[in-house]
Structure 1
Amino acid sequence: MLTILWRRLGESFLQSRVAVLDTWFSHTLALDYNRYQKTKKKSTFVWHSLIKNYIRGVVPTRSARMAWYTDIDTVYVPLNWGKGHWVAAAIDLRLGHVFILDPLIIKNDKRKLPRHMKPIVEMLPIAIKEIVKKESLTCPVPKVFSYERVIDVYQNDRTGDCGPLTVKFIELHAQGLGLDGLTDETVDEMRMRFAVDVYDEFVVSLRG
């Protein structure tokens, strides 16, 4: 779904200095977090090549370079919380702040947020300082990124909708559109559209 979204709106996103990354970015950070915690001197931490490439703007299936700070100011990534719930994160690089777009806020109360957000908010500032060229950093990078969960977001308590909604939230938020105008009926239509698009793109073309 994210690949299709980028193929459809990627050029527009790039003009707005926006990048949309796939699940591998946040997944890799989460997998490396324990190793990161055990590293006493963070500047010596050995970053996964995928993380280095994504920050430098070398992203699989993307034709354009998307180097952070040089080309990109806002990065959207899907986050999987507890292996059962998807949310979108909008990372404002200039502010050092993460906006969480959650389609079911009651699924995780705010006491759980620090644990979920640690890999992003703790590792990214160090990664940026180590990987981004110093001449590209025209604003200070905080020691830890701040974050907040956006409240004015459509809420959906049906099982199985959080994945497609995460993609839809990225699409709408990246274009400066509201996230509170969706309804259960429009979500049903959205899911069907995603299913048709994915089948057409990756299984059998429906155009011929």
Structure 2
Amino acid sequence: MDGREDLMSKPFTDVDMIFIPVNLGGDHWVLAQADLRARRMRIYDSLVTFREEKTYLRKFKPLQVVFPQWLQDVGFYNIRPELQSADSWKVRIVKDVPQQEPGSSDCGVFMLMFTMYLMFGLKLDFDSSHGHYFRKKIAVDIFTGDIAL
């Protein structure tokens, strides 16, 4: 056992961080990392060349409102009352993250790799040249059962 099983099998009420895949506009995926203690969303986007900060942040406003309400609705705060707060959630775009090549359609792969690297506490030290390898790795992981669908 390599320790990943424990990390991946915890109920969400026992963790302080939740990773949320977010689709922007139907054809672009980014990762939202919800820090339950800090009440903060960090956004990891592998293609930042098209965005203007203020407009871009507005796209995450619904998540900023809906996610805390969802935590309330599913009874999360009944189990973890110390994390409930009247303070609003903050959204921050993480600036220095690996970037895909424009037109490469690698955003989904990058979103999955951001998730895996952050989940295991690894430095985000990959780049667009790794996209082909990541696609193969994900396919092998699904085939061998390391990733369940």
Query: Is the TM-score greater than 0.5?
Result: yes
Tell me the equivalent position of 2:97. 153
SS of the aligned residue for 2:23 comes to strand
Match of 1:112 among 44, 51, 55: 55
Q: Which moved more, 1:123-132 or 1:80-89?
A: 123-132
SS of the aligned residue for 1:105 comes to coil
Q: Distance in 2 between matches of 1:9 and 1:161?
A: 28
CA shift in 2, pair 1:196/1:133, >3 Å:
closer
1:88-140 Cα distance to aligned partner (Å, 9 max, x none):
11100111000111111123321232332122101122232343243521134
Q: Which moved more, 1:186-195 or 1:152-161?
A: 186-195
Tell me the equivalent position of 1:162. 107
Q: Supply the AA of the counterpart residue of 2:123.
A: G
SS of the aligned residue for 2:139 comes to helix
- Give the conservation status (yes or no) of the 8 Å contact 1:125–1:141: no
Q: Distance in 2 between matches of 1:197 and 1:133?
A: 34
Tell me the equivalent position of 2:7. 13
Q: Supply the AA of the counterpart residue of 1:106.
A: T
Tell me the equivalent position of 1:123. 66
Match of 1:178 among 103, 112, 123: 123
Q: Distance in 2 between matches of 1:135 and 1:196?
A: 37
Match of 2:11 among 43, 51, 66: 66
- Give the conservation status (yes or no) of the 8 Å contact 1:96–1:142: no
Is residue 2:126 matched to residue 1:132?
no
- Give the conservation status (yes or no) of the 8 Å contact 1:97–1:145: yes
SS of the aligned residue for 2:101 comes to coil
Larger radius of gyration: 1
Q: Distance in 2 between matches of 1:107 and 1:94?
A: 31
Is residue 2:33 matched to residue 1:78?
no
Q: Unpaired runs of 5+ in structure 2?
A: none
Matched positions, count: 142
How much does 1:187 deviate? Answer: 2.2
1:14-68 Cα distance to aligned partner (Å, 9 max, x none):
5xxxxxxxxxxxxxxxxxxxxxxxxxxxxxxxxxxxxxxxxxxxxxxxxx56143
Q: Distance in 2 between matches of 1:13 and 1:149?
A: 25
Greater helix proportion: 1
Q: Distance in 2 between matches of 1:197 and 1:144?
A: 38
CA shift in 2, pair 1:137/1:85, >3 Å:
same
Q: Distance in 2 between matches of 1:114 and 1:129?
A: 23
SS of the aligned residue for 1:157 comes to coil
